[in-house]
Structure 1
Amino acid sequence: MQKKTKPIPVISIVDEFGTGIAIEKTYIPDLPLLDKATLTPFDEAYQSHRHENHSFFLLETGTITIEIDFQTLVIQAPTVIYVHPDQVHRTLSAENVSVSALTISQENLNPDYLKLLDDITPAKPLVLAKETLSILSDSVSLCTKLSERENDKLHHLMLKDSCNALAAFVISQYLEQAESAGKLSRFDTITKDFRKLLERQYATLKRPAEYAQKLHLSTPYLNECVKNTTGYSVSHHIQQRVILEAKRLLYHSNKSVKEIASDLGYDDYPYFSRLFTKITQMTPLTFRNKNRD
């Protein structure tokens, strides 16, 4: 009999707090590597989950091990971590961790910031200089104090504006890091446009020529740009994005492999199964069973 699992939990701060904004500071003295079998339904942070909203984590002290979209990251302070609502994540372990977390709904974020966040996703953890950490710590402190002043007449507006300023500063650090790597070349710009299009249409567009047509480029030129910038072909990126979503569905749903293949735009189920096996070195069912043990 097939093992059953609940769909991936989606944690919503809007339901819990009613404002669409939550900010809190947590200290974890020691949390050893977790055994999934020992977790309870109340250990939300340690179960794979999504946030319905945008999340910013300021790791001020300690070391934390987290899993984001099946990739394990060991992160040392001082670091800021941004997690997009689409990303599945969980905490694996922590050691002497002091972390401040801001979770803010899409409706409360400045539209310009939303666009920039989509551009930098998936964002790697960003190591902070001492001065930058100080500014972020002060910003978090201000947001926290304002969140507690619920009786102020302009409470929500003040909280919203201060949290947007915090988000903007984090985004600026990501943009500054990107600029320090050098001005974007035409190859870089085209690759960025391809990635954005891929994120929107990976389930419907499967051939490099389709992406080239959408971007008004020749297929060889698009492939040259992407390969020059990333080291991998357009086909590789298409397949990797599809397989990531397949892994999410295999782990977090009880849909059959055939249903998942259809959801991802593959009417030829055997082809999808062969593609998954080629890329991951295991069949879809093996991946599901292995990760549910």
Structure 2
Amino acid sequence: MEEVLIFETIKQYCAFNNQETQHPLVAMIDLSRADPRKLRRMCFEFYVVFLKEVKCGDLRYGCNTYDYDEGTLVFLAPGQVIGHNGDEYYQPQGRALVFHPDFLPGSPLAQRMPQYTFFSYESNEALHLSSRERELIEDCLGKIATELDQLIDQHTRQLLLTNIELLLNYCTRFYDRQFITRTTANQGVLTRFEGLLNDYFRSGQAESEGLPTVNYFAERLHLSANYFGDLIKRETGKSPQDHIQLKVISLAKERLFEPGKSISEVAYDLGFKYPQHFSRMFKKVTGQTPNAYRNVN
């Protein structure tokens, strides 16, 4: 097993990058202050937003080097592992906003964090900023840095939370723009998803392996589950799970009229472990039980 360098606290990560700790739970890291270092696998027990400031490939994820353009944002959720170990030295560049989960409880931002699904995207699903977008992000980061330079008082937490939330809301908007401007690529993903979905049931895989999951299709499309889900939802208005469910119901309507097929057999063919689960889903979507649908039609 490769050794993983784990950062549990903001203070540890500040020290690693030769930077003073201004707040125990939030920091703006200037990566250029860090000493040149070898490639390492790293795990952060806090949220990280990397902003690349120059064209370089020094942030490495998995076994691949990703060539980050100037103005690229990468997001990491607590517990994610990045990078790989190696003998090559590199000089870190760019900046990182880091904030600990312990900073959030009791705030509106704590309730909103699950909506920022880009924290679980893969590195090749990074956010690429336009010049105007970068200006807005720089403004948010500047306000956070300015607040961290102040002495901590009764206003510090609220001002930091407000500006972090503003930053993340802008990122949500910019990701929406990125999905729109990459429509051709997105349509390709949608077409491949539909093909994989058809193949799964046509091949009898459902009967042997059960109902397909969103993760199953995301892995085969080489996307993170969250990015895949957000992309499909923005393209079609329905989640991948909705598409899977609609496919199951469409096939069920056909197979319920196959001669000699019981409702249990239809359920097992479609990947249900228990026929009652199939009946429950069918009624929820169509308003009728499978037996009633068969008899009426």
Q: Is the 8 A contact 2:8 2:44 kept in 1?
A: yes
| 1:63 Cα deviation after fit | 1.7
Tell me: CA distance 1:30–1:15, structure 2 relative to 1, closer, same or farther (3 Å).
closer
Please name the residue that 1:281 is paired with. none
Please name the residue that 1:126 is paired with. 127
- Larger relative contact order (Cα-Cα within 8 Å, sequence gap ≥ 6): 1
Q: Is the 8 A contact 2:42 2:82 kept in 1?
A: yes
Q: Is the 8 A contact 1:110 1:164 kept in 2?
A: no
CA distance in 1, matches of 2:2, 2:53: 35
Tell me: CA distance 1:82–1:151, structure 2 relative to 1, closer, same or farther (3 Å).
closer
Deviations 1:199-249 (A, max 9, x none): xxxxxxx9984343x78xxxxxx98xx49x9399xxxxxxxxxxxxxxxxx
Is 2:5 aligned against 1:12?
A: no
> Which structure is higher in strand share?
1
Counterpart AA for 2:59: I
Please name the residue that 1:24 is paired with. 29
Please name the residue that 1:59 is paired with. 52
Tell me: CA distance 1:143–1:49, structure 2 relative to 1, closer, same or farther (3 Å).
same
Please name the residue that 2:114 is paired with. 114
Tell me: CA distance 1:20–1:133, structure 2 relative to 1, closer, same or farther (3 Å).
same
Counterpart AA for 1:59: K
Deviations 1:24-55 (A, max 9, x none): 22326995xx65xxxxxxxxxx4211111121
Q: Is the 8 A contact 1:58 1:101 kept in 2?
A: yes
CA distance in 2, matches of 1:117, 1:176: 15
Counterpart AA for 1:230: L
| 1:143 Cα deviation after fit | 0.4
Please name the residue that 1:80 is paired with. 73
- Percentage of identical aligned residues: 12
Where do 5+ consecutive residues of structure 2 fail to align?
13-20, 197-205, 224-297
Tell me: CA distance 1:89–1:230, structure 2 relative to 1, closer, same or farther (3 Å).
closer
Q: Is the 8 A contact 2:47 2:100 kept in 1?
A: yes
Counterpart AA for 2:172: I
Q: Is the 8 A contact 2:73 2:126 kept in 1?
A: yes
**Structure of higher CA gyration radius:** 2
Aligned residue pairs total 192
CA distance in 2, matches of 1:28, 1:168: 29
CA distance in 1, matches of 2:25, 2:69: 29
| 1:180 Cα deviation after fit | 3.1
Q: Cα RMSD (Å) of the superposition?
A: 4.3
Please name the residue that 2:155 is paired with. 154
Q: Is the 8 A contact 1:69 1:87 kept in 2?
A: no
Tell me: CA distance 1:14–1:207, structure 2 relative to 1, closer, same or farther (3 Å).
farther
Q: Is the 8 A contact 2:49 2:98 kept in 1?
A: yes
Tell me: CA distance 1:69–1:93, structure 2 relative to 1, closer, same or farther (3 Å).
same
Counterpart AA for 2:221: T
**Normalising by the residue count of structure 1, what TM-score does the alignment of the two structures yield?**
0.51
Q: Which moved more, 1:72-81 or 1:16-25?
A: 16-25
SS at match of 2:51: strand
SS at match of 1:150: coil
Counterpart AA for 1:179: I
Give 1:230-241 correspondences, 5 Å limit.
Answer: 230=221
Q: Is the 8 A contact 1:47 1:90 kept in 2?
A: yes
| 1:23 Cα deviation after fit | 1.6
| 1:142 Cα deviation after fit | 0.6
Tell me: CA distance 1:119–1:22, structure 2 relative to 1, closer, same or farther (3 Å).
closer
Name which of 80, 96, 99 aligns with 1:104.
Answer: 99
Counterpart AA for 1:79: T
